[in-house]
Structure 1
Amino acid sequence: MIPMDTLVADSLAIALPILLAALGGLFTEAAGVLNVALEGLIVAGAFSFAVAAEATGSSALGIAAALACAAGLALLVAAAADRLAANPFVAALAVNLLVAGVVGIVSEQVFGTKGVVPLAGILSPRTDLGILSRLPFLGTVLFRQRGFSYLLAGACAAAVVLYSYTPFGLRVQALGMKEGSLRIAGVDPRAVRYGAYAVSGAACALAGVALARSVGAWVPNIAAGRGWIALVVVYLGRKRPSGLLFAALGFGVLFALSNSAQSVLSL
């Protein structure tokens, strides 16, 4: 049986990418139309990171490429709805399908395979904070996570602050509740909506990078449904950051228990 501290640590690590993607989705939901392309954006972010990091040898450039690609695709969804009067849900689903198709083609051209691609130097190591990492229970749960998990936790905190305590976040919420109030205040609702979609893309990009770095490779279908789960988290959390946290943790526990059960049954 998996030790309790390991189970909790694994649950947190699994929950963080889901939570960040869900927070990105929350911005678009608050702006009036939930971006249902989260699954595709996570995959696009992870793949862009893998290609750029492998080509340049720089994780930082890989992250920048992931942010640019996923945010760009999210803005494409927003533009299709705004400029072409397309149904935003259909446009987002089209992006999911587009990413699934293009990634396989590009992977074969760049890596010579549509399968798993190991990435040298990409695996995020577990931290060792000395005495803190050796504390009973808390040491394993909080101080022996993979390094990128701390960046993800910081990104989640930043997203909550941006959503709840900044003028931009308050404008996003006002857009979904009463768009006319923004016009009266001299704020362009379209710009706010585009900003919300860009945030959702950036959040999914970091979630995708985290998944790639957690296994040290590009893996087809690396999101494994996490984008769809993030959409569920938005509603299970009743569209509140605190609610999203608990919902994401719940899914993290379920995934960790599932992984543990598979390990036990395979022995």
Structure 2
Amino acid sequence: MSTTTDHPTPDTGGLAPDPAVAPTRKAGTRKVPTILAVVTLLLGLRLLTTSRSGDTTFRLAVDSDFAKLPDAVLPSSATAWIMLVVCLALTAEAVRRMLARSHQPLWLPIVFALAWMLGFLSWEAAGSRISIVSLLAGAIALAIPLVFGALGGVLGERAGVVNIAIDGQLLFGAFAASITASLTGSPWAGLVAATVAGALIALVLGLFAITYFVDQVIVGVVLNVLVVGLTNFLFRQVLTPNAESLNSPERMRALPIPLLGDIPLIGPIFFRQPALVYVLYVIVALVAWSLYRTRWGLRVRAVGEHPKAADTVGIKVNRTRYRTILLAGAIAGLGGAYYSLVSVSGFNREMTGGAGYIALAAVIFGKWDPIRATLAALLFGFAQNLAGVLSSIGAQIPPQLLLSLPYVITIFAVAGLVGRSRPPAADGVPYRQQ
């Protein structure tokens, strides 16, 4: 009987299959029902300890839509309790599968998350209106740098290099993009500078980690601290006195795609974005396709899993690692440009806010797969935007809890929902050619 993997790959030439994407039949069977039960309990406690009345309006259109979807008006209390019952049923199904030692399907936590979120929002927004377009479009906006960083992390670790320096690459990319775009008057020149800046940080990482065999985690952390200190110094000494000429780049505006941008609900969310977001769509597709469908991708995965075997068949291990982390750094640098050319117009100190570490969490949550890491980054972006939405509608939740919500979800996702996860076998291990 033949077996299949998530990503069919070309002939491996005798190399072992990619275990990082191979499904594990019983992985995480206990973690999924446990997390679902805890989250369901939290929703139940919220419903039991507070009271709500009235209806919740979910707005599904924006004023610029050519065909507007009607608002969805739901009774707050009834919807919340019905969704709680749905969550209980899904949790019971997860427990049944755990007891039967059966695989937990991906659809189960996805449906659970949708039901839980509908019940939670219906309860918290009783008597108010929530714009679904703003909720999801804002989530994508916050997730864009995370996706760029996560892709850089996936590529680096697939090649066997732990890229802790993602945050430094994002920050230095934002810095270089702002200065270059200000001097040239072109945001596109700023994007090019951001890729160079990210690749430069990756080059330093490779020099110490690949050539001189220094611990990769330590090098990454030191680079992050170095970039923070360097950009803070230059911001204070150079950018602030010359803000008009060096830190006033032209901001990239939304560029709606004809026809696609007019699709109700989907169009305003995905196809009324700045050009950099469309570039990201292409990069995600190219990385996912190249990593599993090309000879280059096979070589990258080979040096991350079995560098000795790869060397035996003629693959230059360290050269491949250098090239891959340079590409990874360039991609992460583009994510930094989003901060200074799209989110705001200009660079500010430590403006990434540690996003590189959240991107690393997305890499782990996504099991070192570009598509899964992208979805994980979108989840974290949604968590950040949800905190802002709940605050704007006056949800009776302590503000400290709202601020910590993205990080709590990150911890739950990485520690609980990811199941058993194994990085590439040679990840973080320097290769000494015999």
Change beyond 3 A, Cα 1:97–1:139: same
1:25 to 153, 166, 175: 153
Check whether the contact 1:236–1:244 (CA below 8 A) recurs between aligned residues. yes
Check whether the contact 1:53–1:62 (CA below 8 A) recurs between aligned residues. yes
* Secondary structure, aligned partner of 1:162: helix
* Secondary structure, aligned partner of 1:32: coil
Which of the pair has more CA radius of gyration?
Answer: 2
Letter matched to residue 195 of structure 1: R
Change beyond 3 A, Cα 1:113–1:260: farther
Residues 145-175 of structure 1 deviation map (CA, whole Å, 9 limit, x = unaligned): 2232111222222222232222222111111
Question: How many positions carry a matched residue from both structures?
Answer: 265
Question: 5 Å matches for 1:1-267?
Answer: 1-112=129-240, 119-121=248-250, 123-129=251-257, 132-214=260-342, 215-265=344-394
* Secondary structure, aligned partner of 1:33: coil
**How far 1:24 sits from its partner (Å)?**
1.0
Q: Give the Cα separation in 2 of the matches to 1:132 and 1:85.
A: 49
Check whether the contact 1:233–1:247 (CA below 8 A) recurs between aligned residues. yes
Check whether the contact 1:108–1:114 (CA below 8 A) recurs between aligned residues. no
**How far 1:184 sits from its partner (Å)?**
1.6
TM-score, with length taken from structure 1: 0.90
Q: Give the Cα separation in 1 of the matches to 2:336 and 2:394.
A: 29
* Secondary structure, aligned partner of 1:72: helix
Change beyond 3 A, Cα 1:253–1:109: same
Q: Unpaired runs of 5+ in structure 1?
A: none
Change beyond 3 A, Cα 1:114–1:252: farther
What value does the CA root-mean-square deviation take over the aligned residues?
A: 2.3
**How far 1:206 sits from its partner (Å)?**
0.6
Letter matched to residue 192 of structure 1: T
Q: Which has the higher contact order (CA 8 A, sep 6+)?
A: 1
The range that moved more, 2-11 or 34-43, is 2-11
Q: Unpaired runs of 5+ in structure 2?
A: 1-128, 396-434
**How far 1:99 sits from its partner (Å)?**
0.3
Q: Give the Cα separation in 1 of the matches to 2:394 and 2:232.
A: 32
Q: Give the Cα separation in 1 of the matches to 2:214 and 2:242.
A: 32
**How far 1:188 sits from its partner (Å)?**
1.0
Residues 48-77 of structure 1 deviation map (CA, whole Å, 9 limit, x = unaligned): 111111122222322222211210111111
**How far 1:131 sits from its partner (Å)?**
5.2
Check whether the contact 1:41–1:70 (CA below 8 A) recurs between aligned residues. yes
Check whether the contact 2:153–2:162 (CA below 8 A) recurs between aligned residues. yes
Check whether the contact 1:126–1:146 (CA below 8 A) recurs between aligned residues. yes
Query: Structure 1 vs Structure 2: percent identity of aligned residues?
Result: 29
The range that moved more, 257-266 or 168-177, is 257-266
Check whether the contact 1:22–1:231 (CA below 8 A) recurs between aligned residues. yes
Q: Give the Cα separation in 2 of the matches to 1:221 and 1:2.
A: 31
* Secondary structure, aligned partner of 1:128: coil
* Secondary structure, aligned partner of 1:187: coil
Q: Give the Cα separation in 1 of the matches to 2:178 and 2:376.
A: 29
Residue aligning to 2:66: none
Q: Give the Cα separation in 2 of the matches to 1:195 and 1:64.
A: 18
Q: Give the Cα separation in 2 of the matches to 1:35 and 1:114.
A: 33
Q: Give the Cα separation in 1 of the matches to 2:242 and 2:332.
A: 22
Change beyond 3 A, Cα 1:8–1:180: same
